[in-house]
Structure 1
């Protein structure tokens, strides 16, 4: 699924085979998947920590915008860009939620 079309009601999270862990040897966060490792920047770690098991994208954006007193549109663009990169690499799962329009 392309995150360009991701709705804020969609649920995003790390798939069961991906883990965010602090590596004490390297003294940094790592994103672990079978036979792959990513070294997320501190901003990416903040976003990933807010995903928990799975959360709606809009909730993550709202929480970050409030926490950092930043414009929601700016936070949304940054979060979506980071999540798109993870999705492209197979490190993110997305569950689309259908919404009723009426």
Structure 2
């Protein structure tokens, strides 16, 4: 099990991947030399905010504002841990 993502971390999509909107499928994807990872809506929305300049709480606040939701911190943290384990993001 990986360590929790620190609140003051500013995650960004790894240089190994390129986050891109795939118009034909209407989904966000992560492109890499060997292929593509098709993301669900939540994953795409989180990753597109991982630009290296926002802290985890800022990402959560932006998502909650954009979707009129609250209490997303736990789910976002879990996803970021998974994304870090898959090497999709860097801190």
Fold match (TM-score > 0.5): yes
Contact persistence 1:8–1:58 (CA under 8 A)? yes
Q: Secondary structure at the match of 1:10?
A: coil
The match for 2:80 is: 83
Instruction: Label 1:65 to 1:35 Cα distance change in 2 as closer, same or farther (>3 A).
Output: same
| TM-score, normalised with respect to structure 2 | 0.79
Cα distance, 1:23 vs. partner? 2.7
Q: Secondary structure at the match of 2:15?
A: coil
Cα distance, 1:17 vs. partner? 2.0
| TM-score, normalised with respect to structure 1 | 0.72
Contact persistence 1:3–1:83 (CA under 8 A)? no
Gaps of 5+ in 1: 95-102
CA RMSD, 1 decimal = 2.0
Q: Secondary structure at the match of 1:30?
A: strand
The match for 1:33 is: 32
In terms of Rg, which structure is larger? 1
CA distance in 1, matches of 2:9, 2:81: 14
- Whose helix fraction is larger, Structure 1's or Structure 2's? 1
